[in-house]
């Protein structure tokens, strides 16, 4: 019996490959079910229903049974085969019956989960989502593995393949350092990649609703992670709910981060810089070329992202060669104009040379430097990034976008000031407590395991650490701006002030400024302020509505009842799904009004925005206006003034040193003269 089952399993694989493999396995494991009680007759009904289960929907099984019923009498050759098969052994009859069933299945069941792309066919997997079906294509290659001599270079399109690419699980995540600050803590582990790390990581994912749409709007997600980490494999980025509820096609791509994605020797074609941004652009080009095959409309593509992903979205807005690849943009808590999001070409070059020195690579010859770095282990490169700056980096960002003369022809502030950006609609916003998540990563006095109540002295130390290259006068100006002089003795005051300082400086004010510049020239801008703290948030209460924790609501995680979000959170998530998708489809989030509140257009003068929370949404104006005026206008002037003072002080000290040396020499010479005169007088 055992040899027979083995041979039959092999025969089944020859007949139908792996398409119905799991059903075959079920049948083969229980041979007693092959036969009914009627003279050992083949139990066709059982085998039929077992294989049908693999097709996932009752309608497909009904189609097959209906066809078998109608066609059996009409095909004389089929009747002959059936009669002939009755004289065979159970083994042979099962094999013949299985072959016939597979033939019918191939003809009757449309293979919606197999799509033909420009490079080859891909097979997805059907997911049961909220009472419907979504087909997910996970791990489709869009770029050649950037390994060996392709490391640090612009990506090249993936080559064609034969056969069917099995796109049923997430591919490798791009090589990065894993966050081990709080081992085992859900609040950090949720952001760590869920797949193997590799430089072979240029893959994308597509979620399409069922039945397959025609000309559906496409939403392309770009993950954050400070240009240092990130992966599409995170459950919080699962596109199935958005695709199912709003019937849009959701796409996400892996892109290179850290030195592997943003190392730069501007002007050198071997290491041009911004490789991670070019990865994103190549994925957007893939969407233009292939998304129609998935039922998507290449002329209706909205890019959206969070944090560094949001900054990436704004880079595509600022880069003319990206403009034809998308229609609209959504920016969540990040902008290219943020102080962490860009460095000059000279600074990028300095950091590359510093990394090379740290890894004992030659630096006098660029070709030798590049070859040396290309031969280093990725782990060694990433672990030594921290040494490229000689100060504490609060956001731990060491390599990021730079001016390369290609993707980015000038610094973001200059480009946006000169109007060099795509004229389109944007939906943009921030969270209430953007700063807290950064404070627990190295600022003294702050921890996830305490209330982080700090005093004034600790506040000053935290500011000095967070702004390492500014003068004491600049630090004093921040203290003055953010001290609540009526409540300065309250223990939580300085903790909350530190949250506001970091959140305003790094996230809220740069995003506000970007939105104002886009709106100034007449583009429709819609601004939100996310105020809800998730009931599932594992971080302590004092950290509030943290950076990144609107994402689960944008992707619809609260809609899955077994996860135990509150009903109010499910309603909030559904409203955000509708806002985001309506904007992607039409350029206006006001599809169906939520709670009767209409989301107004944000203008550079009125600056109206919508609050998003589990209570009734409100329309307010001029978010953090005073604080942002401080950061955008006053603080730069303080830096300029104190920079001049510092230079003058250095010059004065140098002059004083020269004068002091001169006076010392003069005094020595005078004393020598006096001594000689006294000796001469003594001899007379």
In the structure encoding, which two tokens stand for residue 652, read together? Answer: 């004065």
- Span 314-334, pLDDT tens digits: 999 999 999 999 999 999 999
The Cα 298–Cα 251 span in angstroms is 12
State how far the Cα of 152 lies from the Cα of 199, in Å rounded to an integer: 11
Contact by Cβ (8 Å): 529, 563: no
Give 359 or 562, the one with higher predicted confidence: 359
Q: Check residue 467 and report its DSSP letter.
A: S
How far, in Å, CA of 50 to CA of 23, rounded? 6
**pLDDT > 70? residue 219:** yes
Q: What value does the mean pLDDT of the chain take?
A: 86
Name the band, by pLDDT with cuts 50, 70 and 90, for residue 54: very low
Alpha-carbon distance 443 to 435, whole Å?
Answer: 12
Contact status, residue 525 vs residue 602, Cβ threshold 8 Å: yes
For residue 38 the two structure tokens come to 């009627």
Q: In this structure, are residues 558 and 581 in contact, taking their beta carbons and an 8 Å threshold?
A: no
According to DSSP, the residues that pair with 528 across neighbouring strands are 429, 610
**Enzyme catalytic residues:** 307, 434, 547
Tell me the pLDDT tens digit for each residue of 580-616. 999 999 999 998 665 668 999 999 999 999 999 999 9
Check residue 27 and give its pLDDT.
Answer: 43
- Name the DSSP class of 39: T
Are 534 and 612 a contacting pair, CB within 8 Å? no
pLDDT digits (tens, 9 = 90+) for 93-138: 555 555 555 555 444 444 569 999 999 999 999 999 999 999 999 9
Helix H or strand E segment including 495? helix 493-503
Residue 489 has pLDDT above 90, yes or no: no
What's the pTM?
0.81
- CA distances in angstroms from 376 to 360, 379, 399, 638, listed in the order given: 10, 8, 17, 43
Region 474-485: what's the mean pLDDT?
95
Separation of alpha carbons 120 and 124, rounded Å: 13
In contact, 628 and 508? CB cutoff 8 Å: yes
**Packed helices 472-482 and 635-683: angle between N→C axes, nearest 10 degrees:** 140
3-class SS of residue 616: coil
Alpha carbon distance 238, 226 (integer Å): 20
Domain ranges of the chain: 2-108, 112-176+200-424, 456-464+466-499
The CATH number of 112-176+200-424 is 3.40.50.1820
Residue 429 near residue 609 (C-beta atoms within 8 A): yes
Question: Going by C-beta distance under 8 Å and a sequence separation of 6 or more, which residues neighbour residue 647?
Answer: none
Number of H helices, E strands in the chain: 24, 16
Tell me the CB-side half-sphere exposure of residue 183, using CA atoms within 13 A.
0
- d(Cα 445, Cα 244) in Å, to the nearest integer? 45
Q: What is the pLDDT of residue 662?
A: 53
- DSSP output for 253-265: E----HHHHH---
**Residue 59, pLDDT above cutoff 60:** no
Would you state the torsion angle of the CA atoms of residues 322, 325, 331, 335, taken in this order, to the nearest 10 degrees? 0
pLDDT of residue 2: 34
- What is the reported pLDDT for 670? 61
- Pick from 71-80, 81-90, 515-524: least confident: 71-80
Cis amide bond preceding 211, omega within 30: yes
């Amino acid at each position: 019996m055992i040899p027979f089952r083995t041979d039959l399993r092999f025969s089944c694989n020859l007949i139908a490959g792996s398409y119905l493999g799991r059903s075959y396995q079920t049948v083969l494991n229980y041979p007693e079910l092959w036969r009914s009680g009627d003279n050992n007759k083949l139990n066709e009904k059982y085998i039929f229903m077992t294989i049908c289960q693999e097709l996932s929907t009752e309608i497909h099984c009904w189609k097959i049974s209906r066809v078998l019923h109608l066609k059996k009498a009409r095909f004389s050759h089929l009747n002959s085969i059936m009669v002939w098969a009755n004289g065979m052994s159970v083994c042979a009859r099962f094999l013949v019956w299985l072959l016939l069933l597979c033939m019918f299945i191939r003809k009757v069941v449309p293979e919606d989960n197999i799509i033909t792309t420009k490079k080859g066919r891909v097979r997805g997997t059907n997911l049961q989502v909220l009472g419907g079906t979504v087909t997910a294509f996970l791990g489709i290659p869009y770029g050649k593995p950037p390994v060996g001599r392709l490391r640090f270079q612009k990506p090249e399109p993936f080559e064609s393949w034969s056969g069917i690419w099995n796109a049923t699980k997430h591919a490798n995540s791009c090589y990065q350092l894993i966050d081990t600050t709080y081992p085992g803590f859900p609040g950090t582990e949720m952001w760590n990649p869920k797949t193997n790390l590799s430089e072979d990581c240029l893959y994308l994912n597509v979620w399409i609703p069922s039945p397959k749409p025609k000309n559906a709007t496409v939403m392309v997600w770009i993950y954050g992670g400070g240009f240092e980490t990130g992966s599409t494999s995170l459950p919080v980025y699962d596109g199935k709910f958005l695709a199912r509820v709003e019937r849009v096609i959701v796409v996400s791509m892996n892109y290179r981060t850290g030195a592997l994605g943003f190392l730069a020797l501007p002007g050198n074609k071997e290491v041009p810089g911004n490789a991670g941004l070019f990865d994103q652009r190549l994925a957007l080009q893939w969407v233009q070329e292939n998304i129609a095959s998935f039922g998507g409309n290449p002329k209706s593509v909205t890019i959206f992202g969070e944090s560094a992903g949001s900054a990436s979205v704004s880079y595509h807005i600022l880069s003319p060669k990206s403009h034809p690849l998308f229609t609209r943009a959504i920016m969540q808590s990040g902008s290219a104009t943020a102080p962490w999001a860009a460095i000059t070409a000279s600074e990028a070059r300095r950091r590359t040379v510093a990394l090379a020195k740290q890894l004992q690579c030659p630096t006098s010859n660029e070709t030798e430097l590049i070859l040396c770095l290309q031969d280093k282990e990725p782990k060694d490169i990433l672990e030594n990034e921290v040494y490229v700056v000689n100060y504490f980096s609060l956001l731990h960002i060491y390599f990021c976008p730079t001016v390369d003369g290609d993707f980015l022809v000038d610094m973001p502030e200059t480009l946006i000031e000169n109007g060099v950006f795509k004229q389109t609609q944007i939906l943009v916003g921030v969270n209430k407590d953007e700063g807290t998540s950064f404070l627990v990563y190295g600022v003294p006095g702050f921890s996830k395991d305490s209330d982080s109540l700090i005093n004034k002295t600790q506040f000053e130390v935290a500011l000095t650490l967070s702004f390492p290259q500014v003068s004491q006068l600049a630090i004093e100006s921040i203290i003055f701006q953010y001290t609540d002089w009526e409540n300065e003795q309250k223990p939580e005051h300085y903790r909350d002030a530190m949250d506001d300082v970091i959140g305003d400086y790094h996230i809220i004010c740069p995003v506000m400024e970007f939105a104002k510049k886009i709106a100034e020239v007449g583009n429709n801008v819609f601004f939100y302020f996310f105020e809800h703290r998730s009931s599932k948030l594992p971080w302590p209460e004092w950290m509030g509505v943290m950076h990144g924790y609107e994402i689960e609501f944008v992707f619809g995680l609260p809609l899955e009842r077994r996860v135990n979000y509150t009903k109010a959170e499910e309603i909030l998530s559904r409203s955000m799904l509708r806002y985001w998708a309506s904007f992607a489809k039409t350029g206006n989030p006001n599809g169906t009004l939520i709670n009767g509140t209409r989301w107004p257009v944000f203008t550079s003068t009125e600056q109206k925005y919508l609050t998003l929370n589990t209570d009734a949404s409100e329309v307010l104006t001029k978010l953090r206006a005073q604080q942002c005026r401080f950061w955008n206008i006053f603080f730069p002037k303080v830096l300029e003034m104190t920079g001049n003072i510092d230079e003058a002080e250095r010059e004065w000290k140098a002059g004083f040193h020269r004068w002091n040396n001169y006076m010392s020499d003069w005094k020595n010479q005078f004393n020598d003269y006096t001594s000689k005169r006294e000796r001469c007088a003594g001899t007379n």
